[in-house]
Chain A
Amino acid sequence: MPAVQETVDQVRSLDVDQYKYGFFTEIETDKAPKGLTEDTVRFISAKKNEPEWMLEWRLEAFRRWQTMREPDWARVSYPPIDYQDLYYYSAPKRPSQLSIDDIDPEILATYEKLGIPLRERDALLGIESGATKVAVDAVFDSVSVATTFKEELARAGVIFMPISEAVREHPELVRKYLGSVVPVTDNYFATLNSAVFSDGSFVYVPKGVRCPMELSTYFRINERNTGQFERTLIIADEGAYVSYLEGCTAPMRDENQLHAAVVELVALDDAEIKYSTVQNWYPGDKDGKGGIYNFVTKRGDCRGDRSKISWTQVETGSAITWKYPSCILRGDDSQGEFYSIAISNGRQQVDSGTKMIHLGKNTSSRIISKGIAAGYSDNTYRGLVSAHRKATGARNFTNCDSLLIGDKCGAHTVPYIESKNSSAQFEHEATTSKISDDQLFYCRQRGLDPEEATALIVNGFVKDVLQQLPMEFAVEAQKLIAVSLEGSVG
């Protein structure tokens, strides 16, 4: 069992503090004044040299946001957020996105420490040692600092660039699709994001192109008191395929930081988008002090016939997670998938799940959710599966299992299943249990200590989801799971 051994070694090598990405990089930054007013929105827009229509779009969102109320239906609790006590824009001083050598060496070092190679030659060296090539867009606080393999992707016709750049260079695409999946007025956090989003990735895969490599974005919050509001827009034109990975970390701080992102996916006829996330924001310390508030709106629109969108997520970080990656199955014969592992420990609160909205004919969806709660945490699965009047032949299979480790945590399941079509077939099952004594006994009898045994059993529990992740991610996710559960046994 080398993987398990590796996990266990990894756990051992850690100090008391389990979060290994908790360091802070000292760099000079350029910030917007604290607080949120129309001027902040104008400041961000000006910083990005945005066209007039973009500014108007933002301002409209901002005005709308001022009239909205924060949602309170999720099973999470936190003190009120003072939106005027945040920085909405923070960027490293040195000009970025010119060439790799212009990037502040501190930032490069940061990404190296995180294991994300931004120098293409480093990545290329990786190829020789057998790893696959991955193009990375690195977002540091509010701006994208580097995007690798742009030329190679451009040769295949794939556009992969920071969204702020895309607004200038491909306004026709951005204008057509931005806000078409998650409307400006969708919800409180999405509207806030629409007003102040600073960066994120933009991907366009043209007709019939299979993206030659995996694309990824690595988000890093560094600055104190800063909210990160990224916006990702991925469009797969007819018959295209793209696999996209997302990773996130942040320094350890006593105060809570806000991360309100919006991700929009559009799949046209016969297109397929695979979106994988390993979310490892700082979860706060063992008493629940600090950590990221992760309030994210992710939605995919299977706009074309026979299109497919697949979400895979491994959620181990964040003090609070509020996230429901969804699929709108608009095209006939379209497919939606959601695979999730959500782990909560310490005082973490997770309220996550998905929505599968069947609109087209013969659409199908599949939901596999594995929740693991340990320590004093609360882990909620909240999901909606609905078939509209015209969704003839809609099919859904849902399976959500929860595992409880310790008697101070909670696991909850809140599914909504709404069928308005008689030919729709929906199946839903959910279970909650703890690691059985029999399983533990079996492992321990063979010489594994309780922690190793738990890691092994948990890895078995989440196997169905791990299999969906790209290989490198799966290995990382497996390690992360063991780390997240550190201290939960015994």
Chain B
Amino acid sequence: MNADIRPIRTPAEQAILASLGTVPEGGDRLADLRRAAARSFEENGLPHRRVEEWKYTDLRALMREAVPVAGTAAVAEAEARARLLRGVEARRIVIANGAVVPELSDLADLEQGLVVTTFSAAVAAGDEALSRLGGIVPSRYDASLALNTALAKDGVVITVAPGARIERPVHVAHVFAGASAAAMYTRSLVVVGAGAALTYAESFEGPDGLAYQANAATEFVVGDEAHLDVVRLQEDGASAFHLATLLFDVGRDSQVHTFTFSLGASVARTSLYATLSGADSHVGFNGASLLKGRQHADTTLYVDHQVPGCESRELFKHVLDDASRGVFQGKIVVRQAAQKTDGRMMSRALVLGDEAEMDNKPELEIFADDVQCGHGATCGAIDDELLFYLRARGIPMKEAQSLLVQAFVGEAIETVEHEGLREALIERAESWLAARA
């Protein structure tokens, strides 16, 4: 702590730097973004616990080795692996090993006003929509986003024309279908025009036992009076590394609701950055993590109220079994111009395992006076009285616990508006509980 010592680069950092030497091609603007991102990674490297935003998720220590970038996946393998949210009636796009698999993706017969292309095709065609890429810049260097910007090959680009209301959800299914550990970087962009509506879902899965790395970033540009619902289900393999960044730019009078559900990966970090740049919008960022074994899941949220009259609601639930570790860092910033802001953030953790750990850091940073802001954080075991109540009615211990956990997580899942997706998430929670019992 005494002097500025340039840390020695870890093997993982060295390997990543080597892969940055071959930054993928792109249009002029994209190439600039990629080079800038690569440079910032070169300067800052992987974050460690002295970097405030990564205090509880020491990426330098956790990411021991870098793995090569994944090669193309076999279609049959990808098809067999992509199982999540299959029961939900949706337009499905499958991304395997970081590249869209056209054979498994439903890119034809698009509804009026909806445009779906692959990121690689958009780059090749110099798609106009890509000018929105990189528009939301986190206030501090974010290693996971920088790497994604530098290395992402593919993903989806979705544009909803002004006024178009797309009923059928778009589901982007990410799978890892390689035989050995590898890294995949995907970048997606969703632009919802003024007065338009979209339900967007993304899922992540892969085999247990392979230490593959998934790095996914999605940018959402939401126009005035638009409506966007985002559901994210992360069930990566038990040895996987999952780094996710979700960025939102929200216009005037719009509605944005997200639900991020983390069940998988050995280490998962989900960062959400939201900039409220249009007045009188309503946003809700909700989520839940169900963790067991030695899993580590970190949700970091940054909501920036820049304009007056917005309402934001955040509800995050953690259920921690065995020796797992949950991290929630949430920050609500209210700028001086953002009068009449109403922000509420709540983080609750239920600790089931004796060796589990929960770290909560809910922050408020307020520069406007006419506001109503609050946050709450709780952490504790299952209430004995509730257990007693159920057991007195003849319900066995495990089942009583399951019921209470279900009710606990259910409160957050209930915020998902789309019925099919909500049911699917409840089913995932139930099967997690069943596996526990």
Contact = CB atoms under 8 A, between A and B. Distances in A.
B72 interface: no
A432 B371 contact: yes
B161 to A, nearest CB: 39
A430 B374 contact: yes
B376 interface: yes
Contacts of B1: 68-69
B116 interface: no
B370 interface: yes
Contacts of A413: 362-364, 375
Given A69-B1, A419-B351, A422-B352, A428 B365 contact: no
Contacts of A59: none
Contact of A415 (B367, B377, B380): B377
Q: How large is the interface on A (under 10, 10 to 19, 20 to 34, 35 or more residues)?
A: 35 or more
Interface string B363-386: 111111111111111111100000
Contact of B366 (A389, A410, A427): A410
A426 B358 CA distance: 10
A420 interface: yes
B44 interface: no
A412 B336 CA distance: 13
A422 B353 contact: yes
A422 B373 contact: no
A416 B365 CA distance: 15
Contacts of B427: none
B2 A407 contact: no
Contacts of B365: 410, 412
A209 B2 CA distance: 45
Contacts of B372: 431-433
* Interface of A (DSSP majority class): strand
A406 B368 CA distance: 8
Contact of A433 (B339, B360, B371): B371
Given A424-B380, A426-B377, A407 B361 contact: no
B364 A422 contact: no
Nearest to A386: B359
Interface string A471-489: 0000000000000000000
Interface string A409-447: 111111111111011111111111110000000000000
B369 A407 contact: yes
Contact of B370 (A68, A407, A430): A407
Given A412-B366, A425-B379, A434 B359 contact: no
B357 interface: yes
B357 A418 contact: yes
A68 B2 contact: yes
B363 A423 contact: no
Contact of A428 (B2, B3, B362): B362
A84 interface: no
Contacts of B381: 422-423, 425
A301 B430 CA distance: 45
Contacts of B364: 402, 411-413, 430, 432
B360 A404 contact: no
B356 interface: yes
B376 A432 contact: no
Interface string A383-420: 00000010000000000001011111111111111111
Nearest to A396: B379
Contacts of B103: none
B354 interface: yes
A67 interface: yes
Contacts of B377: 415, 417, 426-429
Contacts of B2: 67-69
A31 to B, nearest CB: 31
Contact of B361 (A408, A410, A416, A420): A416
Contacts of B369: 404-407, 409, 434
Looking at B1, B362, B366, the one whose CB has the most chain A CB atoms below 10 A away is: B366
Contacts of A389: 355
B357 A419 contact: yes
A417 B359 contact: yes
A418 B359 contact: yes
A356 B140 CA distance: 29
B379 A416 contact: no
Looking at A68, A411, A427, the one whose CB has the most chain B CB atoms below 10 A away is: A411
Contact of A434 (B336, B357, B370): B370
Contacts of A423: 380-381
A68 B358 CA distance: 32
B336 to A, nearest CB: 6
A414 B339 contact: no
Given A67-B2, A419-B358, A434-B369, A428 B363 contact: no
Contacts of B357: 418-420
A432 B376 CA distance: 12
Given A414-B363, A417-B359, A407 B339 contact: yes
A412 B371 CA distance: 13
Interface string B42-67: 00000000001000000000000000
A429 B367 contact: no
A426 B371 contact: no
Nearest to B349: A419
A426 B355 CA distance: 16
Nearest to B1: A69
Interface in B146-169: none
Contacts of B354: 422
A246 to B, nearest CB: 30
Contacts of A415: 360-363, 377
Given A407-B336, A410-B365, A420-B357, A430 B380 contact: no
Contact of B367 (A68, A410, A416, A424): A410
Interface in B1-35: 1-3
A410 B357 CA distance: 32
Contacts of B366: 402, 404, 410-412, 432
Given A402-B366, A404-B366, A417-B359, A428 B353 contact: no
A436 to B, nearest CB: 9
A430 B371 contact: no
Nearest to B337: A407
B374 to A, nearest CB: 4
A418 B353 CA distance: 15
A151 B377 CA distance: 50
Nearest to A423: B381
B382 to A, nearest CB: 10
A432 B375 CA distance: 9
Interface string A147-173: 000000000000000000000000000
B381 to A, nearest CB: 5
B151 to A, nearest CB: 32
A68 B1 CA distance: 7
A423 B370 CA distance: 39
A364 to B, nearest CB: 13
A434 B363 CA distance: 18
Nearest to B374: A431
A411 B369 CA distance: 9
Nearest to B382: A422
Task: List 8 tightest A-B contacts by C-beta distance, closest first.
Answer: A404-B369, A425-B380, A417-B360, A431-B374, A422-B351, A428-B377, A413-B364, A434-B369
Given A73-B52, A415-B361, A432-B366, 5 more contacts: A416-B361, A417-B359, A425-B378, A426-B360, A434-B371
Interface of B: 1-3, 52, 336, 339, 349, 351-381
19 contacts: A404-B366, A404-B368, A413-B363, A415-B360, A415-B363, A415-B377, A417-B359, A417-B379, A418-B357, A419-B359, A422-B354, A424-B379, A426-B380, A428-B362, A429-B375, A430-B376, A431-B372, A432-B372, A433-B372
